[in-house]
Homo-oligomer: A and B are copies of this chain.
């Protein structure tokens, strides 16, 4: 039996989405015991409960020795407000545990990776069940958590990797939660940002990531209309800033704010499985 605990470090998940994930797991994954922490449905202003509530739920899941993996319900915003205490108060039970999510929860993945606690993995959120094809995103996560090797981002090879939402990474660099990504292939993706903002974020991120092995650009989706075209797409933007900062641009990554978002275990964790 694989026991998965779900919490929401940023915004809450709607009950019908949680029910859809539970139904799919019960139907297709009889060896998975999947539990949404009640905090997933809490509301406090922007957040799924106040900072103390979200922190306590994360620690409930992370420090429970009966739990094999912690899965994040939703992104939104708010993981950075609890990341310091979240990592500082992890116990032995968290050491070998998988933590899986993306978007805003990438802040926690980064902080965990920096601390050496747990196994951070970039992949679909439980709430992604709502997307077109979202059931497949949920299946991908449950298969990966079951066998540790399916659904991996296809470029994963012999070098350590990490993946982030571009805005989340841009806000992470230089902070107390930023892991050392020297020698890593870093994958980024973005949603609902103007291309000029993507350009600005890529300036900031490449300037702060000198020394990485290379960068891969995931999907940039739901770009809002602007009063004028930017004049370059996300690949041209990535190439431009990588060239200026001496970072090898390695091509596309199969990640994004969509149901096709593939699994990226941080470091070398996915490599034995991929080879």
Q: Point out residues on A near B: beta carbons under 8 Å.
A: 43-47, 76-78, 80-81, 84, 167, 170-176, 195-197, 199-201, 203-204, 207-208, 226, 228-232, 244
Contact = CB atoms under 8 A, between A and B. Distances in A.
A171 B204 contact: yes
List the number of copies, as a whole number.
2
A231 B170 contact: no
A77 B199 contact: yes
B171 A200 contact: yes
A203 B175 contact: yes
A204 B170 contact: yes
Contacts of A201: 171
Nearest to A83: B203
B200 A77 contact: yes
Contacts of A207: 174-176
A213 B269 CA distance: 43
19 contacts: A45-B228, A45-B232, A46-B195, A46-B196, A46-B226, A46-B230, A46-B231, A47-B231, A76-B196, A77-B197, A77-B200, A78-B196, A80-B203, A81-B199, A170-B170, A174-B204, A174-B207, A175-B207, A175-B208
Given A174-B174, A207-B176, A80 B46 contact: no
A47 B174 CA distance: 29
B230 A45 contact: yes
Contacts of A47: 231
Contacts of A173: 174
A228 B46 contact: yes
A188 to B, nearest CB: 15
Contacts of A167: 200
Contacts of A46: 195-196, 226, 228-231
